[in-house]
Amino acid sequence: MINTIKSDIAIIKERDPAARGILEIFLCYPGFQAIFLHRFTHKLWNLKLPLIPRVLSQINRTITGIEIHPGAKIGRKVFIDHGMGVVIGETAEIGDNCLLYQGVTLGGTGKNHGKRHPTLKENVVVGAGAKVLGSITVGANTRIGAGSVVVRSVQGNSTVVGIPGRVVHQSGVKINPLAHSALPDAEANVIRNLMDRIDTLENQLNRLQKALQNLVNDEVIDISKLGDAQNLKDKEIIEFLGDDSN
């Protein structure tokens, strides 16, 4: 238990430049306080004590603004930064070295008993306001962009953005977990792609109009100058919208 607490403090000092000392972390970091209290309530939960763990988790929520069900499993070196509004469900599992920002929800779907909350593998970063819902697995070294909603399992070494969350693979690329500005803007890329298509279609339409005018004037048409239509099943659009044809 002591070694776990030391590792929780160490990861905060490593990832937060504002952390100036152990006492400050103990007194001023609700993410650390919430996990510290959760580790105690989780042990009581495993002992199958009635009601007490839930009451303590509610006290934890009141103090820190972070709601963690006592049944949730949290690994070592997990850092909840700021943390206000974070919700972690009963059957959620969080691996080592994960980073969660404020407003994150690891929630369930449906009313079935059993595993109904997500599992985060090691080194997962979940951006502010992101929602990860259902009994899904988020692979190791994955980043989930702020405000994203993830409802499907994600392979490791991926970046997820958007609503619903779409995956942009970045396997083998080491990225600073705090560098949220490095997240790809999938929506902007798709809009840019569609604007290029509109420009291409307008140019083709203009050429066709000129070709028709040439026909009216009995002039010779050079078909090679009419241009080729682009394939609408563009890779970038398919990645953003998802290909459900298979």
Would 36 be classed as within a structural domain? yes
| Same domain membership, residue 82 and residue 67 | yes
pTM (whole model) above 0.85? no
Q: Looking at the domain assignment, is residue 246 inside a domain?
A: no
* Residues facing residue 154 across a β-bridge: 138
Q: What is the pLDDT of residues 19-32, one digit of tens each?
A: 888 888 888 899 99
24 and 116 share a domain? yes
pLDDT above 70 covers what percent of the chain?
79
Same domain, residue pair 33 and 123:
yes
Residue 147 has pLDDT above 70, yes or no: yes
Backbone angles phi, psi at 28, to 5 degrees: -120, 5
The CA distances from residue 139 to 4, 27, 88, 94, 212, in Å, are: 23, 33, 18, 11, 56
Q: Is the peptide bond before 30 cis (omega within 30 degrees of 0)?
A: no
Give a yes or no: residue 149 inside a domain. Answer: yes
**What local confidence, expressed as pLDDT, does residue 217 receive?**
75
What's the domain range around 200?
A: 186-241
Please report which helix (H) or strand (E) contains residue 90, including its range. Answer: none
Domain containing 54 — which CATH number?
A: 2.160.10.10
User: Which residues is 132 bridged to in the sheet?
Assistant: 106, 150
Backbone angles phi, psi at 98, to 5 degrees: -85, 155
Q: Within this chain, do residues 32 and 107 fall inside the same structural domain, yes or no?
A: yes
User: In this predicted model, what pLDDT tens digit does every residue of 19-77 receive, in sequence order?
Assistant: 888 888 888 899 999 999 999 999 999 999 889 999 999 999 999 999 999 999 999 99
Q: pLDDT value at position 90?
A: 92
Domain count, the chain: 2
Question: Final residue of a domain: which of 182, 199, 219?
Answer: 182
